[in-house]
Amino acid sequence: MPLGVVVGVLGAGVSLALLDMIGFFTNVFYYQRLSVHLVSPNASTLGAITLVIPIGGGLIVGLMARYGSEQIRGHGIPEAMENILINGSRVQPRLAILKPISSAISIGTGGPFGAEGPIILTGGAVGSIVGQLFRLTGSQRRALLVAGAAAGMSAVFGTPVAATLFGVELLVFELKPRSMVLIGLAAATADALRMVMAHAGLVSPQPLFPVPSHGPLGGVALGGAAVIGIATGFGAWVMTEAVYGCEDLFKKLSGHLHWMWWPLIGGLIIGLGGLIDPRALGVGYNTIHLELLGKVGVGALALLFVVKMTIWAAGLGGGTSGGILAPILMMGAAIGGMFGHVLPGASVGSFALIGMAGSLGGVTRSPFTAIIFSFELTHDQNSLLALLVSATVAHLVSVLTLKRSILTEKVARRGFHVMREYAVDPLEATFVREVMDTDVFTVEPSRKLDDLYRALPEGSAERRQRLYPVLNDEGELVGVLPWSAVLSGRTAGPKTVADAMMLPTAVAHPDEILRSVADRMAALGLGVLPVVDRGEPRRLDGLVTQFDLLDARQKLLEEERHAERVLTLRLLRNREAEAKADLDGTDG
């Protein structure tokens, strides 16, 4: 926990420094001034000259990836997932320097990306480095890596709860106190640091996107939220296919052009898109805010959506460094805003907010994060129910139309499977007594091994048992005899069971859950354990094997696949029987 606090402070500091770097490069390239104030490129007066700025940024990022670290390419979150799943949560220290610099250059030169992906990877790198400095397990390093990522997200956006949910839903691959406590602690620490900075006048104390207050949204607006959920769900499919379609197109160039030059091509497409609609350039926080205020027309929203998606997909497909959350928020708000101009029940800005949550929930398949993130960004509590409807429906459509999310697809393309559906482990919900074998073949200590071997014919159930409990005359467990010892009985001569038996290395108890038994088997390399009573440890109750553990999985499959009608409505049938009884003159 102390390390979680340290990671929270470091992650917040690094992330806020990244925002300053983005502001610095944006001011230098688009306004030729020295400032770290975060501004949008769309107010630049350079005209067509701005075409070359993203090209130059892409060239620099390509060179940094080639000669620094290839891991700076992409939007950061899949890379964080990969470090967690494959590298034991070990991140190269240089990545904590190269990733924020490359991302700042990419976004500062007009890249249509968000800062959150690089922030998450950079904060995660800080957490991982801290974890590597101490003697920790892989699980503890993983928790610190995700804690750093959540701290960065919390510090930049002022969304500690959403950052914690994001870490749990997307990155840590478990919902356990050992990780959630550290993630929440780091996110809270980062937000507390942000509030201190707000009191000092260094950052704004307001939510990132303050919106006008309004009353609770009614049933008509909730119906509109469902419509927008469907639209943003299909929008999630379009965005995901666009990104990986562009990535596949760039891969076709691999035989002719080194990937180092791909960000340059992406920069050219970004520059052209910026000439068409400059609002699509950069992180676009000011544009998102205008969408949420309902100050962007239908035509402008449609153009913004098309241009943003095109240059964003081309940039990511080419391997440029940048995040995905802010672009998703902008495109989702555009979808919601377009529908908001025709749907009744709420303002255009409210529907833009609903679209923002739906898009984030559909693209990332993290509906809870989408709901709370949208709420914390605006503090619009009266839209919570509509956000729930939109994010839930969008999540449903995304699951039905896409095999994987935009985040897990990249990891899967590298040959690794990501499981993000959390469920109760069947080993946690099944007791040993439910699966153990009580029909056990036992032996006595005085029995000859050669006689025992002959008593176990080929193919018999007794021979398949593989471990034989040894019971004395009082029926007490005094040892166990493995099959290998029985097999040696062919040439053992006068050797008895007592000579070859051993004390049980470990035992199980009927009231234990299978998870603890499975862990014990794995730790000791055993495939079968005798089951004994806790109160009478020498009383044998049965055997439990590694194959019995599969029975728990079979139980879960039965619950998921076996359909049955438990209750039957018999009212009509009873009335017919009574009518027939009246006609026949008999009792019903």
Reported as a pLDDT band with limits 50, 70 and 90, residue 588 is: very low
Q: Which two tokens stand for residue 265?
A: 């091509």
Residues 6+ apart with CB under 8 A from 415: none
pLDDT in tens, 228-247: 999 999 999 999 999 989 98
Helix axes 406-413, 77-85, angle to 10 degrees: 50
Q: Which of 221, 147, 233 is nearest to 189 (CA)?
A: 147
Both structure tokens of 539: 């009383």
Q: List, for residues 469-498, the tens digit of each pLDDT value.
A: 999 988 899 999 988 888 876 665 678 888
pLDDT at position 115 is: 76
Q: How far is CA 460 from CA 286, 291, 305, in A?
A: 76, 74, 70
% helix, strand, coil for the chain, step of 5: 65, 5, 30
The pLDDT of residue 419 is: 59
Q: pLDDT tens for residues 185-237? A: 999 999 999 888 888 877 778 898 999 998 989 899 999 999 999 999 999 99
List, in order, residues 6 or more apart from 213 with CB less than 8 Å away.
380, 382
Angle between helices 95-108 and 52-67 in degrees, nearest 10: 170
Euclidean distance between CA atoms 262 and 59, whole angstroms: 8
Q: How far is residue 177 from each of residues 148, 151, 168, measured CA to CA in Å?
A: 17, 17, 11
User: 327 by DSSP, 3-state: which?
Assistant: helix
- For 407-433, what is each residue's pLDDT tens digit? 777 767 766 656 556 666 788 878 999
Among residues of the chain, what percentage have pLDDT more than 90?
A: 40
Q: Tell me the per-residue pLDDT of 524-562, one tens digit each, with 9 for 90 and over.
A: 888 899 999 988 889 999 999 988 888 877 777 776 676
pTM of the full structure: 0.79
Place of tokens 């205020």: 293
pLDDT value of residue 570: 64
Percent of the chain predicted with pLDDT > 70 = 88
SS (H, E, C) 176-238: CHHHHHHHHHHHHHHHHHHHHHHHCCCCCCCCCCCCCCCCCCCHHHHHHHHHHHHHHHHHHHH
Could you give the CA distance from residue 408 to residue 170 in angstroms, rounded to a whole number? Answer: 9
Task: Average the pLDDT over 291-295 and give the result.
Answer: 95
pLDDT over 60 at 573, yes or no: no
59 Cβ contact partners less than 8 Å away, ≥ 6 residues apart = 261, 263, 264, 267
CA distance 361 to 398: 9
Domains of the chain: 2-199 (1.10.3080.10), 219-261+274-413 (1.10.3080.10), 426-560 (3.10.580.10)
Between 571 and 371, the higher pLDDT residue: 371
The pLDDT of residue 586 is above 60: no
| DSSP class of 260 | G
- End-to-end Cα separation, the chain, in angstroms: 72
Residues in the chain, overall count: 588
Q: For all residues of the chain together, what is the average pLDDT?
A: 85
Q: What confidence score (pLDDT) does residue 89 get?
A: 58
Long-range CB pairs of 255-259, under 8 A, 24+ apart, other chains included: 258/66, 259/62, 259/65, 259/73, 259/319
Cα Rg for the chain, rounded, in angstroms?
31
In whole angstroms, what separates CA 16 from the centre of its chain? 24
As a whole number of angstroms, the distance between CA 28 and CA 277 comes to: 21
Range scoring the smallest mean pLDDT among 140-144, 149-153, 424-428 = 424-428
How is 52-74 classified by DSSP, letter by letter?
A: HHHHHHHHHHHHHHHHT-GGGSB
